Copies of this chain bind each other. A is one copy, B any other.
Amino acid sequence: MRRSAVLRRVIFTGTLFFCWVVFFGSQSFSQHEKLRVNANRIKQRIMELAEFGKTQQGGVSRVAFSEANIQGRNYIVSLMKEAGLKIQIDEAGNIIGQRKGKEPKLPPILFGSHIDSVPNGGKYDGALGVIGAIECVQVLDENGIVTRHPLEVVVFTDEEGGLVGSRAMIGELTPEALEVVSHSGKKVRDGISAVGGNPDEISLVMRHKGEIKAFIEIHIEQGSVLETKNIDIGIVEGIVGINWWDVLIEGFSNHAGTTPMDMRHDALLAAAHLIIAVNRVATGVPGRQVGTVGRIQCEPGAPNVIPGRVVMSLELRDLSAKKINTLYEKIQKEAKAIAEKTKTKISFTPIDATAVPAPTDPQISKFIAEAAQELGLTSILMPSGAGHDAQNIARIAPTGMIFVPSVGGISHSPKEYTRPEDMANGANVLLFTILKIDQ
């Protein structure tokens, strides 16, 4: 063969290779542009899962560690196997469905949610995040797509009982938390054993920074912002911090008939002023912070007795811990003035139910926004006002959350409903986001 012929062949082969590289290199893009989850399959599986713990009201009671929860977990494991995932139950009872990547040394991309419910809850909270995650893997499987990173579909243990599984994964599930009695009646420790975990080796579950490429969770919004604004996708900027206080208002209980208006120390009147002050403070600055008084007890509590003592709750939520603190300081200042005006004493006791704000990863949020756009969906940035496993994982790995509309903003209720097309939208966005992270 002449040198020129060899050169031509080399050039030809090189050109072919170049074309192959150009074609197949971009193929992942063109493939992913056409990829779509199966909306019917998602809907059908949501309904099948809802059979476990089904209630007469049309919802589900599938509290963690209950018989219904265990049956539901078995159902999910069967779906994972169908999608080609390798099943592992970790020491915290989290179900991990693993899929190999082309580059086994890369850290895995995690996605998922939970399938335990609150007592008398709905079909979608948590369930969508799990069914949607399995759907993504199944679509990749059906299309013969192997990602660079390993993938892990996670079903976290006992989310509704205090984010148990995800707390274990960040190494913050305390020995005390294991002794708490869960909704099922079982201690968390015994529940974890019942689902195949090992409460005595919980620390093995812990993952460290850098060990997870990313975590993404789809979830129903549980509010009515998306529905009201007619938006398809909520890109969660972060999970809000939550602070709780018990507010004690001490007045003086007295005969309502014999105590003139100007001689009263009416604790309920003071409480009323404070409830309005909380609302005024929470709405008085720009932002999406919320302030709530949801519980109130008034003593002695008779129509003909001036209330002498009121105990009520105060809850503040925002993405910024600093803002929560500023709001709290304003409320305290208002309380001082109210106490003086009403001749009562007002004191605040923090309740240990605090969650620190958990910002999501801006790069992942950008991927979610691009994915939505490519899918022709509208999206907005929004906080998650509710707690999620994502808030824990956000502390060790770049995390993103995808919200889809809740009809009527209702959740934790048998009336919880999300339309099949919205569930599919969420899963498609998740699929695109995984592929974007993977590249």
Contact = CB atoms under 8 A, between A and B. Distances in A.
Given A228-B263, A260-B225, A276-B276, A268 B293 contact: yes
A290 B256 contact: yes
Contacts of A294: 256, 268, 298, 300-307
A71 interface: no
Given A271-B272, A275-B272, A259 B303 contact: no
A288 B296 CA distance: 30
B290 A261 contact: yes
A217 B323 CA distance: 62
A261 B242 contact: no
A148 to B, nearest CB: 35
A217 B76 CA distance: 79
B304 A292 contact: yes
A168 B251 CA distance: 39
Copies in the complex: 2
A281 B275 CA distance: 19
A42 to B, nearest CB: 22
B282 A385 contact: no
B306 A255 contact: no
A221 interface: yes
Contacts of A410: 254
Contact of A256 (B254, B255, B292): B292
Contacts of A387: 257
A411 interface: yes
Contacts of A306: 292, 294
A315 interface: yes
A315 B301 CA distance: 13
A342 to B, nearest CB: 9
A385 B255 CA distance: 9
A255 B295 contact: no
A8 interface: no
Nearest to A291: B261
B276 A269 contact: yes
Contacts of A302: 294-295, 313
Contacts of A386: 255, 257-258
Nearest to A403: B258
Nearest to A308: B294
A223 B255 CA distance: 7
Contacts of A254: 223, 409-410
A353 B256 CA distance: 15
A222 interface: yes
Nearest to A351: B303
A298 B412 CA distance: 19
Nearest to A290: B261
A263 B304 contact: no
Contacts of A272: 271-273, 275-276
A311 B288 CA distance: 30
A411 B315 contact: no
Contacts of A305: 294
A121 to B, nearest CB: 12
A244 interface: yes
Q: Which of A259, A272, A288, A292 has the most CB of B within 10 A?
A: A292
Contact of A268 (B260, B275, B411): B275
Given A298-B296, A304-B294, A257 B242 contact: yes
Interface string A238-254: 00101010000000001
Contacts of A225: 258, 260, 263
A254 B406 CA distance: 12
A230 interface: no
Given A257-B290, A259-B385, 15 more contacts: A222-B255, A223-B254, A255-B411, A255-B412, A258-B411, A260-B288, A261-B283, A263-B409, A268-B275, A272-B276, A293-B307, A294-B298, A294-B302, A294-B305, A303-B353
5 contacts: A255-B409, A256-B290, A256-B315, A258-B409, A294-B302
